[in-house]
Structure 1
Amino acid sequence: MPRSTVARIDLEALRQNFRLASERAGTAQAMAVVKADGYGHGIVPVAKALAADAQKYAVACLEEAFAIRDAGLRQPVVMLQGVHAEGDLELCVRRGFEPVLHSHQQIDWLAQSEARPTFWIKINTGMNRLGFLPAEVEDVMTRLDSMGARSGVLGFITHFACADDLDSPMTAEQTARFEEATVPWPELMRSVANSAAHFVPGQAMYDWSRPGIMLYGGSPLVGKTGPELGLKPVMSLEAPLISIRTVRAGETVGYGAGFLVDRDIRMGMVAVGYGDGYPRHAGTDTPAAVNGQRIRLIGRVSMDMLAVDLTNAPDAKEGDPVELWGQTVGVDEVATCAGTISYELLTGITARVPREYR
């Protein structure tokens, strides 16, 4: 029989997190960001679970938008990277996708195409990844008007660089630039708020917010965990204890003899590793749990296994499921120990880990 390593997905927790995002968005509506395979949770089950509440979805690219349509969902789908070829514009018209246009090349494609999708204009207010500079927006709108494409503009969008840091002044600065750049077109919609912005006091939310990581229970703020922000964990990553043995003082554990045992300990081997997406850099003292009792990793994470110290779980036995993150151990805690963020952990779970939904 297959090993019992599994990612359990709590769809009701997902819905609760979306409702919290909607509440914190105030008068704005929240579009559900389901890119990167629903942040590793499965784009189709996630999108279906949110279908009764979400009026729009947001994805990165065309193939993700197709996955939503092929699942039978009819809500508009915002494509945050826009189109990657002129021919994509016609697909957007046929399938009800709303691309975000962020470059002069994309405007050129629109000028050359007979397709006239509805679309958003991205403004670069300081992130410096994608978008038109605020000083360019008026010329872009004038060109769209001359092309007969002005009526297709739904609104403006930008992305914050430092909203995760409540002490940074940059979010307010970007908001002011966005406000100034869009003031000539009050009839058009506006969207600025990522997950972190939902927790920035006094932040303008405009018409649409774009919650992502917060839907999945991960914290968008530096120094805070998801539960501290009222978010429910959605994914519980579990794997079985497949071996238990006593390791004597003076012995070492794992590759590179990376952990020296200073006293006799009861050690368990867990059937999960970086081949499953568990972070290799989560070393000794990273928390896990068995039977509701917190334990710790010891030594290096291997491709298919990792070692845990069972001192705090004396009743643990072979076959017991170990929670790598979930209800007892937060994904944000593990991310901190691994020197990364929960976004990377959740999206990094590989295909050999089955997802089970409830």
Structure 2
Amino acid sequence: MPRPIVATIDRAALSHNLDVARSLTTGARTWAVVKADAYGHGVLTAASAFADADGLALIEIENAIRLRESGWKKPILLLEGCFSSLDWHAAGEHRLSVVIHSDEQLSEFEATPLARKLDVFLKFNTGMNRLGFRIERARDVAARAEQYEGTGEITLMTHFACADEPDGHLDALARFNAATADLRYARSLANSAACFDFGRVGAGGSAGTAQQDWVRPGIMLYGATPFSHASRSAMSLQLKAAMTVTTEVIAIQSLQPGERVGYGAAYTAKRNERIAVIACGYADGYPRQAPSGTPVLVDGQRAPIAGRVSMDKITVDVTDVPLARVGSQVQLWGDRLAVDEVANAAGTIGYELLTAIAARVPRRIV
């Protein structure tokens, strides 16, 4: 028998979340972001759930090729572009759209003879200061790209550094609009957080041209909030959890006051306590830094972690879950316990928990 831990992936929830994104961004085309193996959900599974998306966006060219080979015929965008001449040739062969974010990439694109034109997304830096041409160069970079015979359609894009904060995207949007106001190209601006404020993020700031936009929802498609403040939880945003991670109790220990639990004896019983040992640990992708008190559900009831997360096991105080026993069902996060709540308790974000689920955890698709 395999260990009882499993990650259940809900395709209907994925499709629902895409519908939410599309309803928020009426008139725009939608890139469903499936990087990092679709945030841990499986890129081919996600692609089947995102059949109504206008395209898929990711970083890994090998997964882009897998998507083509599996039958995906709509556009695919490489969000970090190409890293070698082999990538450029593969992009041409498999009809991939490509982000270009630097002079070095643009020069390599121009120097690589391709069998077909590539649609390019020129990425500009509006304050993130990671990838992208300086926004002040928008006109010159676009003109250069347009002159090259291998260039197909051109789209201008940026990535907002602070879209998860109230009005956090407005300064970057103003800079982008000022530099590109009279350029006739389509835009790609909105990430998940900005999708919820799409009325103020349309192409060139104008709702009249929003139909030319490409939006790029990511984390919201998987049922987690893109916002850090509790008032904008995934549930309040009408999102559904697409990954539910469950396991079982594999042992019960009875502790007296003063007895300790786990590595470093980091947890001390304050009363007569029942401690459940569950089959999950940091080797499964659960955050090692999750402190005592981080919630799980045992037979549907909330119970706190007690002591350090170890490689293969977590200990949980089930004193107040009197019917808990070996074989009791445990939910680590999912449809009844938000991944964002667990992430907040562990001092991280839902993105990390979803993408960190280990390969040894079986996926069950429903």
Superposition TM-score, scaled by structure 2 size = 0.93
Within the candidate set 335, 347, 350, 1:342 is matched to 350
Deviation at 1:248, TM superposition (A): 0.9
Letter in 2 for 1:204: V
Q: Is the counterpart of residue 35 in structure 1 residue 35 in structure 2?
A: yes
1:280 matched to 2:288? yes
How far, CA to CA, are the matches of 1:76 and 1:201 in structure 2? 22
Q: Distance in 1 between matches of 2:177 and 2:193?
A: 19
Partner of residue 332 from structure 2, selected from 316, 324, 347: 324
After superposition, where does 1:1-358 map in structure 2 within 5 Å? 1-51=1-51, 53-115=52-114, 116-149=117-150, 151-166=151-166, 168=168, 171-186=169-184, 188-200=185-197, 202-206=199-203, 207-224=213-230, 225-358=233-366
For structure 2, which runs of at least 5 residues remain unmatched after alignment? 204-212
- Residues 134/42 of structure 1: CA separation in 2 closer, same or farther (3 Å cut): same
Contact 2:146–2:154 (8 Å) recurs in 1: no
Q: Which amino acid aligns with 2:139?
A: E
Query: What is the alpha-carbon distance in structure 2 between the residues aligned to residue 75 and residue 26 of structure 1?
Result: 19
Cα deviation digits, residues 116-151 of structure 1 (max 9, x gap):
3121111111111111112212222232344334x5
Query: Which 10-residue stretch deviates more, 117-126 or 193-202?
Result: 193-202
Give the Cα–Cα distance (whole angstroms) in 2 for the partners of residues 59 and 167 of structure 1: 27
> Aligned equivalents of 1:162 and 1:241: distance in 2?
41
Secondary structure in structure 2 of the residue aligned to 1:120: strand
Structure 2: which amino acid aligns with 1:190? R
Q: Using the TM superposition, give the Cα deviation of residue 201 of structure 1 relative to its aligned residue in structure 2, in angstroms.
A: 6.9
**Structure 1 length normalisation: TM-score?**
0.95
The 3 A distance-change label for structure 1 pair 146 and 21 is: closer
Alpha-carbon offset, residue 167 of structure 1: 5.1
Q: Is the 1:163–1:200 contact (alpha carbons within 8 Å) kept by the matching residues of 2? A: no
The residue identity in structure 2 corresponding to 1:178 is F
Q: Deviations over 1:185-221 (max 9, x none)?
A: 22x2111111011223742133111110001011101
- Give the percent of matched residue pairs that are identical in Structure 1 and Structure 2: 43
What letter is aligned with 1:198?
C
The runs of 5 or more residues in structure 1 that have no matched partner are none
In structure 1, distance between residues paired with 2:246 and 2:329: 6
| Aligned mates of 1:237, 1:349 — CA distance in 2 | 9
CA RMSD of aligned residues (A): 1.4
